[in-house]
Amino acid sequence: MDESAETESAKATPANSEVSSRSNANGTAISTDLTTPVVLLTVGLLLYLPWLGSYGPLDPTDSFFIESGRELFETNQYLLPLQNYKPWLDKPILYFWSVAGTYHLLGVNPFAGRLVSALSGVFLGLSTYFFSLPYLSRKQSIIAGLIFMAFPLASAIGHVSLTDMPLAALMATALFALFHFEKSRRFSACLIAYLALALAFLCKGPIAVIIVGAIYGLYLLLTTKLSGLLRKILDARPFLGLAIIAIVNIPWYTMATIGTNGAFFQDFFITQNFGRMVGTVNHQQPFWFYIPVVLGGLFPWSLVLILMAIAPLTALVKTLVQKSARQEQIAQCKKLFENREHLSDRTAYLFFMAIWAVFVLVLFSAIKTKLPTYILPGLPPIAVLIAAALAKLEGESREQNKKTSKIIIASALLIIATTIGAFFAGSSAHGWVQVFLVDSRATLAGAFFAALYYLYLAVRNQRKQALAVLTGLTIALTALLVPKANIAFYKERQQPFEELIWRIKAAHADIATVVVEAPSLSYFLHRRVEALRDPAEANKYLASGKKPHWLLVPREVMESLKWFKTEPQLIAKTKNSKWSLYSLE
């Protein structure tokens, strides 16, 4: 790791500053001024809260959690998560408790259903800032927090109701606190780490403990001599951690297992956790799945990641080709290995961030089951590394600037091309993407002119100002475009379906779906909706005494209409023909 910015933290607080200060683990003064966190909090709230409730539940995933929390709130049953008024054994209880709690405070509405996820994203940005302060400059810590909150992928996850953002916040808190404990030996940091880890276990299960333990253990292994490794591990009080995790989790997991006669243990631990790791459940994707996810979900900061990778890749090629370079590289590696216990705090922190980010990306690339949300826990360290890389770019000499200025100019040109392409793609796109691009043309036009200014600064080699413009542009675009995308998706996909629901409600009809569940049905109807899965269930539903019998059929299973003895009569369908509403009488 490059330590050229080591002294930058000393410049962060002027000697004549009137702001009070405290000391970090090494005695370095850290300002306790509240202005910065208040500004960060304000930016985070503006990024995540506006328009959060301006679109209804989005089937299938967002509505699962919004509706499950509502069913807990309605039934006043808080032992097990509910879905369609049945025990839902795929997840632990913590997130559902939190959603039901916001309903108690704010009433049942989509804003309240997503609030915990959104606030978790803001909390994670603030945690990235606070835990980076002892090891990076104030400026780098601020930028790290801002970059995380403005990652399009992070913002998109924070704008829907999912367990992923609270889980990532708890796991990141545990990892940040464990590193801080390793450097400061403050017992409070150790307690924070294990309490966060215990809550992460109650939010998602054992995967949180496995990932956090593996990352921290790998860091200790790579920075500690073998003779002192066991001592370092024991210093972290792992048995205390296990005790805290057990105290927080055993009561609920035991009651859930007993209350379902063992079904919860089988479904959650065996099917959901082990099954997802070996790929026996859905969402199977190729190993390279996360490459486009990172490039698109972190744009434009993914361009900085590419810039960061150029120097190591160039050195690797040079090492492979030139014998002298190879010998020099081997010597440097030996020296680094010999001095691994004496890394500066800044270098150790960045090394820990690199281990954390790479481990998450490699782990979930190796697991067969893949979703874009799975790599969210790896984004905070990536934000820290990008912030450190930006500081290095700002501090480069003019000679060094020549090596990267062309790439920065290329990034500006790519952003300009992207805005132009998105502006004109609206007329040729389809579905909700077309609605989104057309509604976003004014925003894209503003982004185009901001990107031109970024290009102007890059050409003039005003690196500091250019990167500031890029940061502001990213924050503004994320704040505006992510909610617009969700609203467009809702208008095109979900709103026509809701119109069918209101028709069902007005007719007081009994309703069932075929194969596919739509949690928004239960959300609006406030009752259980059967999902028919075979001819026997179909005819049992038809024979029931409730009338009229109506049926919602998704496009992909239209063949299932043959299950019914009577010919279904079409009542209406959504404009995209995703759903069709039939009468069975």
Q: Residues 405-423: pLDDT tens digits?
A: 777 788 888 889 989 998 8
Q: Are residues 255 and 176 in the same domain?
A: yes
Residue 221: CB atoms within 10 Å: 13
Is 210 a member of any domain?
yes
> Mind listing the pLDDT tens digit for each residue in 124-169?
999 999 999 999 999 999 999 999 999 999 999 999 999 999 999 9
Tally of structural domains, the chain: 3
Q: Is the peptide bond preceding residue 57 cis, with omega within 30 degrees of 0?
A: no
**Of 113, 7, 11, 18, the residue nearest 70 (C-alpha):** 113
For residues 266 and 118, the model is more confident at 118
**Averaged confidence pLDDT in the chain:** 86
Q: How confident is the model at residue 462 (pLDDT cuts 50, 70, 90)?
A: confident
**End position of a domain, from candidates 245, 274, 303:** 274
Q: Are residues 180 and 266 in the same domain?
A: yes
Provide the pLDDT for residue 189.
94
Q: Are residues 408 and 461 in the same domain?
A: yes
For the four alpha carbons of 51, 57, 62 and 67, in that order, the dihedral sign comes to positive
- Interval 286-314 mean pLDDT: 82
Is 55 a member of any domain?
no
Return the bridge partners of 579, or none: 554
- Interval 350-357 mean pLDDT: 95
Q: Are residues 403 and 465 in the same domain?
A: yes
Cα separation, 557 vs 59, in Å, equals: 17
**Of 457, 444, 378, 384, the residue nearest 417 (C-alpha):** 444
Is 328 a member of any domain?
no
Is 554 a member of any domain?
yes
- Interval 578-584 mean pLDDT: 91
Q: Are residues 177 and 267 in the same domain?
A: yes
pLDDT at 455 over 80: yes
Cα separation, 300 vs 155, in Å, equals: 14
> Mind listing the pLDDT tens digit for each residue in 3-49?
444 444 434 433 333 333 444 544 444 445 788 999 999 999 999 99
Provide the pLDDT for residue 395.
65
Q: Residue 162 in contact with residue 66, Cβ under 8 Å?
A: no
Is 75 a member of any domain?
no
Q: How confident is the model at residue 459 (pLDDT cuts 50, 70, 90)?
A: confident
Buried b (16+ CB within 10 A) or exposed e, 41-50: bebbeebbbe
**Biggest distance spanned by C-alpha atoms of the chain:** 86
The helix-helix angle for 164-184 and 110-132 (nearest 10°) equals 20
**End position of a domain, from candidates 221, 249, 274:** 274
Return the bridge partners of 553, or none: 580
**End position of a domain, from candidates 258, 274, 290:** 274
- Interval 254-276 mean pLDDT: 80
Provide the pLDDT for residue 92.
93
Q: Are residues 179 and 259 in the same domain?
A: yes
Residue 224: CB atoms within 10 Å: 17
Is 184 a member of any domain?
yes
Q: Are residues 178 and 267 in the same domain?
A: yes
Q: Are residues 187 and 253 in the same domain?
A: yes
Return the bridge partners of 341, or none: none
Q: How confident is the model at residue 1 (pLDDT cuts 50, 70, 90)?
A: very low
Q: Are residues 465 and 519 in the same domain?
A: no
Provide the pLDDT for residue 227.
80
Is 440 a member of any domain?
yes
71 CB-near residues (< 8 Å, 6+ apart): 82, 83, 85, 522
Cα separation, 520 vs 476, in Å, equals: 31
Q: Are residues 529 and 436 in the same domain?
A: no
Q: How confident is the model at residue 475 (pLDDT cuts 50, 70, 90)?
A: very high
Q: Write down the number of H helices and E strands in the chain.
A: 26, 9
Q: Are residues 175 and 270 in the same domain?
A: yes
- Interval 293-311 mean pLDDT: 82
Q: Are residues 244 and 184 in the same domain?
A: yes
Provide the pLDDT for residue 517.
85
Is 350 a member of any domain?
no
Cα separation, 35 vs 28, in Å, equals: 20
Domain span holding position 425:
399-479
